[in-house]
A = this chain, B = another copy of it.
Amino acid sequence: MENIEIMGLVAAVLTTYSIVPQVYKTWSNKSTKDISLTMYLAMFLGVVLWLIYGIYHDSIPMILANFITAVLLFVMVVLKLKYK
């Protein structure tokens, strides 16, 4: 694999992983006062569109990364609605 493609893979892992510490924090503290629901709704919708885009282009990395990110963002939307 070319170095630039490895960098793309690291980028995908980082942006997907990034939501995990936020989910953990929100899950533990049960507080979402400072969190914007609009951000998570817009990002979720955007990532679902990236997922469809990845499916259309048969891009396994795009499908994997965006599917996991969409699930994590959906969990954040649920947590935000649960712990207002």
Interface residues of A (CB under 8 A from B): 4, 7-8, 10-15, 17-22, 24-26, 29, 31-36, 38-40, 42-43, 45-47, 49-50, 52-53, 56-57
Contact = CB atoms under 8 A, between A and B. Distances in A.
Q: Within the oligomer, what is the number of copies of this chain?
A: 2
B52 A7 contact: yes
Contact of A53 (B11, B34, B50): B11
Contacts of A52: 7
Contacts of A42: 14-15, 17-18, 21
Contacts of A18: 38-40, 42-43, 46
A8 B46 CA distance: 9
A36 B25 contact: yes
Nearest to A17: B42
A31 B36 CA distance: 12
